[in-house]
Amino acid sequence: MGIAGLGALIGISAARIFHQTDLMLWLLVGNTGIVAFVSANRRFVEKEPALASLAGLAFIVTCFVEWLWCNDILASWNHVTGILLNSDRAAMEARAHMGLIIFRHVAIFLLYAAIPYLAGTKRLWPWMVAAVAAPIHFAFVYAYLESPAQLLPHGFFWLAPLAFAIPAAFGVWYLVKKEDVELASGDSRLATQGAAVLALVSFVFPVQFQREWITLGWAIEGLLLLLLFRWIPNRRLRAVALIVLTGAFVRLALNPAVLEYHQRTHVPIWNWYLYAYGIAAICFFLSARWFGEPKEKFYERDASLYLYSLTGVCLFLLMNIEIADYFSIGPTLTFSFSGNFARDMTYTIAWSLFAFGLLVLGIVKSIRAPRLVAIGLLLIAFAKLFLHDLDSLEQLYRIVAFIAVAIIAIIASFLYQRFLLPRAKA
């Protein structure tokens, strides 16, 4: 019956009539039947791959249908928001309806969170399904909480991720106390539940900011996973941490639309750019510093240098974004390198100082890569100054610019010769 119910739901959702509330109940019934079937056959070891595939497929299909459901509900709510706000009773009924939808999302999540205890605590795949279900269903519920329905005051949003972390935290306690699993064993079941707890905890602070909470959550989660590796030495935690940190970097550095998601706050320096890029850079830096041992695989050997590189790129982007924001006019961020003398010179000086800092770092840490990047960035800054900026300068300012460039070049050359050339000769 569960499989039939879920199959019927798939067909109904494909017909785009999944917006009816009763379909969510059918989704819950279908998943309950599948979980009951898996639990009834848990003693048959030879059927374990089939049972795992069945439960995993049901979970994937459920998440897809819930995603469609969530988008449809939010679109409908935004369409009638103006009408509902004019009627307190209608707004109250709509909030009650939204609360029922959230309850059903939570019920489906709790169903999958219970799979390890129903399908067998010795198996790994039930714990993995339960761990993945937590952040996904939190995202669904948070979308409703963030809507104009105002089911929960914004100051209490941090309670939502903590509530979803409770089943995973109970899983950690159960494995340690009831199954006698040692933390130092690096047990994969323990690692999945610990990772799920950290994934939800990492969303506590970002959800309060409301801007780039997903990106910040990923960055914080990556750092916490590397710290968790110190207690649960499962090397998959570090691999997942690198993937999550890379995802956070891609969203910030390789996604131009990230600057269009939110309007400018018209507050220079102390704005959402600073905390989004700044916190991410701090997470990248601490992750590189605390990556730990052993470093046997190829990605482990290069992980620290890779994360330090992400830190440098993130800080460089933050510096340029803050400059652009300071000189921008209007609701959107504007990048321009001509028509404003103060802005052009600010870019040039900032690039030179950033390159100088990289050069000093490369010399102090005896790392070749930062030195090469610093030299390249200095050349770019000098080329910009001579080929672009000097054309808009008066005679006196040109002299000052030449003196500033000469000072930076002399100091950089002195440091390079003083600390690097003797070692090269040796």
Give the dihedral sign, CA 198/218/116/180: negative
Task: State the amino acid at position 118 in one-letter form.
Answer: L
Question: DSSP character for 212?
Answer: S
Please give the distance of CA 386 from its chain centroid, rounded to a whole number: 40
Which three-class secondary structure state does DSSP give residue 295? coil
**pLDDT of 426:** 38
CB of 238 within 8 A of CB of 300? yes
User: What CA–CA distance (Å, rounded) separates 66 from 60?
Assistant: 10
**pLDDT of 39:** 83
**pLDDT of 8:** 47
Low-confidence spans in the chain with pLDDT less than 70: 1-23, 45-46, 76-94, 148-150, 210-211, 261-263, 331, 337-339, 389-402, 405, 412, 415-426
State the residue for tokens 């079937």.
Answer: 37
Burial of 11 (0-12, 13-18, 19+ CB in 10 A): exposed
The domain segmentation of the chain, as residue ranges, is 1-141
CB of 248 within 8 A of CB of 307? no
Chain mean pLDDT for the chain:
80
CB of 374 within 8 A of CB of 362? yes
State pLDDT tens for residues 369-414: 888 888 888 888 878 777 776 666 555 566 666 677 677 777 767 7
Q: What percent of the chain lies above the pLDDT cut of 90?
A: 25
Tokens standing for 210? 């409301």
Tokens standing for 381? 């800054």
**pLDDT of 37:** 84
CA atoms lying within 13 Å on the CB side of residue 29:
11
